Structure 1
Amino acid sequence: MDALIYSAMAGAERALKAQQVRANNLANAGTTGFRADMETAAHQAVQGYGYDARHMARIDADAVQTRSGTLAPTGRELDAAIVGEGLFAVAYGDGEAYTRAGAFTLDAEGQLQLDGRAVLGEGGPIVLPATNHIEIAADGTVLVLPEGTQEMQVIDRLKLVKPEPGALRKNEVGLLVGRDGGPLPPSDEVQVRGGYLEGSNVSPIEEMVATLQINRDFEMQMKLFKAADEMAANGNRLLRE
């Protein structure tokens, strides 16, 4: 009887955690460059003597949906969006992390930043001189028109990476990092569109449908749990009699 209780309890726990993942996706449906989380589950045996037939669900919520979001023009010089597959690289701690967000800014020293983190180029953090105009080319090259000049000059090239979908996970602040923890190599295949931003790749309809299904799963697990409890109670009453 307790094996059924384990199954019902594990299923209910999985449904609750899956609902948290879906709720977080819906909350970020309007976040620029957000990548939807995908909840996956696998079974794991309960440790200990006599528990061979008991299994629990192990929830893994670090898989990332890699489909592209919708590109929207902004006309802003420092905005950029990746066309197709690829990621921008930003400094994070002693290493680097990756993102699809491209609403870049400049700090007081002219360093290109994203949410307070340095945007990385082929030579490290990108620093721009005083300029009248900035362009981000399709290959990620950053060009500026310095004050007092008439010709655009190349400053650096954005570090763009194109990893395999399964090679990424989200870290504690929501940035993407390699599963092995090391930096990813740059790719010449990634294309960029300046003056655009990419929206979230969350589909609100898909998330709502999945949430409804999860609610039904949870209700079913609770019915199983109640049935197991009633069967155990009836068995105990028979033993007493």
Structure 2
Amino acid sequence: MDKLVYTAMTGARHILDQQATTSNNLANATTTGFRAQIDAFRAVPVVSEGLPTRTFVVADTVGADFRAGPIETTGRSLDVAIKGEGWLAVQSTDGSEAYTRNGSLKINENGMLQTSSGQMLQGENGPIAVPPNMDISISADGTVSGIDNGQTQPGPANVLGRIKLVNPPTSGLVRGDDGLFRQNSGEPAAADPNVRVAEGCLEGSNVNPVDAMVNMIALARSFDTQMSLLKNAENNAAKATQILALN
């Protein structure tokens, strides 16, 4: 009975954690470049002076599903999607380098190239500035070029910079509270010339809404099972107390 209480209690608590993760994934089913979060749990015996009859559930390594999402054509020149593996390098709010697959870009009021979330896009030589009255195009290797749209005759394209594209090992990436990924070593990743992008496209979320909904239903039933086990343990304890009282 003692083991039953520990197992059911900690199992129910972590099922709630899994429900929160699944709900977050489902809420981001339409978020550009989103990577689904994966939770892992394991049973651990309680170490004490008594017999090792009690176990409880603890959270294991929290990871992410790094499978690519669907590519959608938008036709917008500031939309880019990573082809295959790779990441866009951005500057997070704390100044550190972070990585995202969200290629929906914009030009801020200061003429700097940013993501739609407001992170400064990193170039191989620093942030990329875009002069006013420029038509922007982004090539497959991340080179950003601009043509002055104020001229009657189109002139040659001016290279404004090259987006820093990286491809660090996914085993060394961790997701931050801001949804961006970073290397667990804290060091910035080196630019990878093999990473390619597609202009006028965006990568969708890799969350499958149907799978997420089914998972939520399964977790709700598992939580009910854990609650039933706790109720059974309470009933067993009450019956045992009655028997001891008769003796």
TM range (shorter): over 0.9
What's the counterpart of residue 79 of structure 1? 79
What's the counterpart of residue 135 of structure 1? 137
Correspondences of 1:99-110 after superposition (within 5 Å): 99-110=100-111
- The aligned amino acid for 2:219 is I
Unpaired segments ≥5 residues, structure 2: none
Greater mean alpha carbon deviation, residues 55-64 or residues 181-190: 55-64
1:187 is the counterpart of 2:192: yes
What's the counterpart of residue 157 of structure 2? 152
Task: Output the TM-score relative to the length of structure 1.
Answer: 0.92
Q: Distance in 2 between matches of 1:181 and 1:128?
A: 29
Q: Distance in 1 between matches of 2:24 and 2:174?
A: 16
Matched positions, count:
241
Q: Distance in 1 between matches of 2:97 and 2:37?
A: 20
What's the counterpart of residue 15 of structure 2? 15
Q: Distance in 1 between matches of 2:166 and 2:60?
A: 25
Give the 3-state SS of the residue equivalent to 2:226 in structure 1.
Answer: helix
Give the 3-state SS of the residue equivalent to 2:66 in structure 1.
Answer: coil
CA root-mean-square deviation = 1.8
Tell me: CA distance 1:121–1:4, structure 2 relative to 1, closer, same or farther (3 Å). Answer: same
Residue 69 of structure 1: CA displacement?
Answer: 1.1
Residue 174 of structure 1: CA displacement?
Answer: 1.1
Give the 3-state SS of the residue equivalent to 1:144 in structure 2.
Answer: strand
Q: Distance in 2 between matches of 1:188 and 1:174?
A: 25
Residue 138 of structure 1: CA displacement?
Answer: 0.8
Give the 3-state SS of the residue equivalent to 2:145 in structure 1.
Answer: strand
What's the counterpart of residue 94 of structure 1? 95
Give the 3-state SS of the residue equivalent to 2:19 in structure 1.
Answer: helix
Greater mean alpha carbon deviation, residues 179-188 or residues 86-95: 179-188
1:234 is the counterpart of 2:239: yes
Residue 203 of structure 1: CA displacement?
Answer: 0.3
Q: Distance in 1 between matches of 2:51 and 2:191?
A: 49
Q: Distance in 2 between matches of 1:155 and 1:191?
A: 18
Task: Output the TM-score relative to the length of structure 2.
Answer: 0.90
Residue 197 of structure 1: CA displacement?
Answer: 1.0
Give the 3-state SS of the residue equivalent to 1:119 in structure 2.
Answer: strand
Q: Distance in 1 between matches of 2:51 and 2:102?
A: 47
